[in-house]
Chains A and B, each alone.
Chain A
């Protein structure tokens, strides 16, 4: 059957026509092969303007579309849904970003912008003819369990929220602490293995001496942070340093605190440990202000490398400075040091004055919560990426703040990076809600853009099996690689590395990519 393309040009209100001549793009489109219809709309993101576009599709029985508009993320879900209803497979809709990629960067050079837009249109039309419709498949979830790892602040919040939404919760807690959280609590338990994929996960849990298996539909990582001891030269000289949270507790319960008090911003100022996060700053500022209020006579110093007092914390900083708390900034050239022969003195070079200071202290506290060492084990078991500072990496700070790249696996609280109790609680609730929403779907959707093996070409070299972060490829009964499509995330890593070019990613096949590239750049290569 002959391909029938619809081309849609979006004006983005007035932004796009202010740089591009849409009539000439429209003419180029209408003169191209297989283009049956060209439409110009004011704003494709406006639901009302979709109706005539979709009517056109139905009337002319079009089977594919090229839409020139803005960033994919802004338009795609609604647009693709509309096309699906109008009978066009969503993988046959080609989106071209002429706003962020053409109009905005070339606002002052309309001729170049026009040429770029035309090249992109030609490439998209060439690719459009190579597209194949793809279908997604579904599988029933076999359980409704939401498993939460860690019963700290974030974990408890997640369990409560998930249970409130009707999910069956199982909380794994490493220690023996008893908890009032809904659902099952497994004490002295840790996650040691995971097979399957979000929706139908088979977990292996070590509970005490035994290893048990547990089915889970979704998983929330709430392992929390971990404290370290003072390290490096400071540790050798100061034996009784207290972590910031201990100092905070002492202040709260009015325990006697020996002045003067010095708070250092890192457990290892001369080492590679990252300087404290914004949270630790909030905690530091609140602690010292409270301490100063309760003991106005105590001299307080805060020794820091980089101050990060965001938002309203700025006011707390001002309050602290007004109360006479001294803030001393240092840099790598003059890190705080202590000499065992001269106990009770911290020497540091004041960066702003260039002056060496010897600060006498009664109590030395240090801020910073490094990441929980359990994170690494859990990330390995679940095969999810870690962030550089030792936390679990989240999907995207704006769009998926409590998700991991693995569907059905969520993360919250200090497992991501150190944060305050309030923030951990809020994230816990969010992760609990996300997990229960995921479970409530009852089915897993997969397929579409997934890898596919051409078995004749496969030499069973295991390269894909070793490379895939999701354990999607395996060597099947025929002695050739196969893809577990429920696990495949369509990332294309196996496709890129396969030495025999036996794997292709659907919707991004070599042919589809090459025709687009060749049209854009011209020539054979």
Chain B
């Protein structure tokens, strides 16, 4: 899932300071599950802002609620009035949610309440770790199911490097060396021969380097005819 973290309260307060009417909108998907922007976090932030305002004698009207998935127009549309009724919207979704609202209402101000971090998995209650960077060309079948692009600080394709010591990474001694993990996993699978293989430079054109990526599935797209029909119904 997408893992995010709430911005520090001070930063949010500063961002919102010039405005009177504020709408905080959370999201019930990834950011709810990673305990960053679900209904609970939204309510807690709204309370925290109100308490801070009261302590510092600032007057703002703050309201907060959640939508099912903030990255989808249909869900955002349902709360359009509440968005446009405010001076500024603070999005407690990942940046996708904040940008969806921003694109839909370009004149309206939409600010981010979270720092969107990574694609991560919950290792245990309250701990998330990054395992994929979305490079668009998956190779983990050759690396024992462990992604060296995301999990190695240097994204090395042929590892480990000389900075790997005692299973740890030289960049951060608390981080496990991805290539040691790959070695151990391949050994477990009796596929150690794979580590001898030389992997040439990867095709990075599928990654972010080529600018914004757009995926299209032609068979799923609506035809002009269908679109017209829908418009007619509406």
In the bound complex, what is the Cα–Cα distance between A351 and B51 (angstroms)?
Answer: 53
Chain A, interface residues (CB within 8 Å), range: 10 to 19
B125 contacts A461, C-beta separation under 8 Å: no
State which of A459, A461, A501 has its C-beta within 8 Å of the C-beta of B43: A501
A499 contacts B125, C-beta separation under 8 Å: no
A459 contacts B29, C-beta separation under 8 Å: yes
A463 contacts B125, C-beta separation under 8 Å: yes
**A residues in contact with B125, CB < 8 Å:** 463, 466-467
B32 contacts A524, C-beta separation under 8 Å: no
Total contacting residues, chain B, CB less than 8 A: 17
**B residues in contact with A497, CB < 8 Å:** 35
B40 adjacent to chain A (CB < 8 Å): yes
State which of A498, A499, A525 has its C-beta within 8 Å of the C-beta of B54: A525
Q: Chain A binding site: helix, strand, loop or mixed by DSSP? A: loop
Q: Chain B binding site: helix, strand, loop or mixed by DSSP? A: helix
In the bound complex, what is the Cα–Cα distance between A466 and B35 (angstroms)?
Answer: 14
**A residues in contact with B38, CB < 8 Å:** 459, 499-501
In the bound complex, what is the Cα–Cα distance between A501 and B50 (angstroms)?
Answer: 20
B20 adjacent to chain A (CB < 8 Å): no
A499 contacts B33, C-beta separation under 8 Å: yes
> If A463-B35, A463-B125 touch, does A500 touch B28 (CB 8 Å cutoff)?
yes
State which of A498, A500, A525 has its C-beta within 8 Å of the C-beta of B51: A525
Q: How far is the CB of A358 from chain B (nearest CB, A)?
A: 43
Closest to B53 in A: A525
A523 adjacent to chain B (CB < 8 Å): yes
A457 adjacent to chain B (CB < 8 Å): yes
The residues in B between 29 and 56 inclusive whose CB is less than 8 angstroms from any CB of A are 29, 32-33, 35, 38-41, 43, 47, 50-51, 54
Encoded as 1 (CB less than 8 Å from any B CB) or 0, chain A from 485 to 525 comes to 00000000000011111000000000000000000000111
**A residues in contact with B40, CB < 8 Å:** 498-501
Q: How far is the CB of B35 from chain A (nearest CB, A)?
A: 5
Q: How far is the CB of B105 from chain A (nearest CB, A)?
A: 25
**A residues in contact with B51, CB < 8 Å:** 525
**A residues in contact with B32, CB < 8 Å:** 459, 461, 499-500
State which of A459, A463, A466 has its C-beta within 8 Å of the C-beta of B28: A459
Interface centre among B29, B32, B35, B50 (most CB of A within 10 A): B32
Interface centre among B40, B43, B51, B124 (most CB of A within 10 A): B40
Residues of A within 8 A of B (CB): 457, 459, 461, 463, 466-467, 497-501, 523-525
What are the 10 A-B residue pairs with the smallest beta carbon separation, nearest first? A499-B38, A461-B33, A501-B39, A525-B50, A466-B125, A499-B32, A501-B40, A500-B38, A499-B35, A525-B51
The 6 listed contacts between A and B (C-beta, < 8 Å) are A466-B124, A466-B125, A499-B38, A499-B39, A500-B39, A501-B43
